[in-house]
Every structure is written in structure tokens, then in C-alpha cells.
Amino acid sequence: MRHLTTLILNGVLIGLLAACKPAADTAPVDKEPAAPPVPAAKADGPAAATTGVALDGEGLRFVDKASGKASLLAFGVPRAQAEEALARVMGTLDDRRTDDQCGAGTIEFTRFDAMTLNFQQGKFVGWFLGNEPGADQYSTMSGIAIGTTRAKAGESVKLVAIEDSTLGEEFSLGEGENVVGGMFAAPGDAAKIDALFAGTNCFFR
């Protein structure tokens, strides 16, 4: 009888010890959620191997990589013409949308990776290049691109800071009506260009 009582007590003790086992030993460990994969930029249009696209304050310039000859896709051309021209280099467009809340009025957008073309009343009126996959396919004729530092950009063109801009570290490349604008990611000479744009954009100033 004493032996049976001892077994029972031992069993109760083991059960209590198991119940008191720290939950951390059995609870699953939370892991950081996996970041979504970054889509690869296409740049696979039929003319991608022979044609580059340069950023311009009057539109976009298509540059023959062999001869260096450039032709301007100017603001004001029909939407279909602008989309077809960029698709020949960058491949199929990614998205089309409309925003009727823009400061400049209703703007329609066509997106090719990092590049967005802006349209009003069926006409090409502006472009915006973000710091996203595919941005490295574009630069100005002087070589300024997303990721260029403030100090480096200032070596080739006159940088004009936009004072008290609501967009942050805004600047223009030169002065006048038809300039390429942009934004640095931070103050200072080492700051890199985070966005470039020209023409009419959906900004609120």
C-alpha cells in the first residue's frame, strides 16, 4: 500500500512539473514576415537593345545607342503615340489609372516600371520617375539619374533649390519653364536623387 501511494504521489509530482513547464519552450517562435519580392524591370521592348531614353524638360528623348542621334517625344503629342514610343523600349505597360484630385486637374497616368507618363485631355503633358526597379534605364543627356548625389549633379548642371517646397528637398536642373525637377532623399552634398520629373504632375504645393 505504501508502494502504491508513493507511485501515485510521484505521478502527481511529474504532472505538476509538466504543467509548470515554461510556455516559451513549447510556443512557436514568431518570425519576421518575409518581404515581398521586388519585381524585375522589363526593358524588353523591340527597340530596347538599340535605343535609350533620356529625360528632358520638354518630354523624353529617344537616343540611338550606336550613333547618339536623339529625337524628342515632346509634351503635347497624343497619348497613344507616347505610350507606343515608350513601349518600344520598355515593353508592355504595367498600369493605367486616373486621379481627379490633382492640383493641376484630372490627370491620367500610364506606368512603365519606374516611369509614369502623365496625360490630360488625351495629350502627353508630363512624366515622373521614381526610385524603383527600372529607374536605372533613364538619365538626362548629361548623365543625371536616380541615385546621383547632389555634389555629382552639381558638377554638370546648375542645381536650383526650390525654397520652402512642400515636397521636401526639391530642386530643378537649371532655370526656366522647361526644366527637369527632382527631389533629394535628404539634405547635404552626399544626398542622392530620389525622384525626377518634368511637365505637369500630380503635386500639391
18 in any annotated domain: no
Q: 151 in a domain, yes or no?
A: yes
What is the rounded distance in angstroms from the CA atom of residue 69 to the CA atom of residue 162? 33
State how many domains the chain has: 1
pLDDT over 60 at 128, yes or no = yes
Using alpha carbons, select from 116, 133, 141 the residue that is nearest to residue 63.
141
Q: Is 7 a domain residue? A: no
Cα(71)–Cα(53) distance, integer angstroms: 10
Burial level of 52, CB count in 10 A (0-12/13-18/19+)? middle
| Location of C-alpha cell 502527481 | 12
169-181 pLDDT, tens digit per residue, is 999 999 988 999 9
Q: What pLDDT, in 10s, does the model give residues 146-196?
A: 999 999 999 989 999 999 898 999 999 999 889 999 999 999 999 999 999
Q: Is residue 40 part of a domain?
A: no
Looking at 48-175, list the stretches that DSSP marks H as alpha helix, in order from N- to C-terminal side: 79-90, 150-156
Asked whether residue 93 is assigned to any structural domain, the reply reads yes
Q: Can you give the residue range of the structural domain that contains 127?
A: 51-199
Domain membership flag for residue 39: no
| 183 in a structural domain | yes
Work out the percent of the chain whose per-residue pLDDT is above 90.
Answer: 76
Set of cell numbers at residue 26: 513549447
Residue 74, in any domain of the structure: yes
For residue 22, CA distances in Å to 12, 14, 17, 27, 106 come to 18, 15, 10, 9, 60
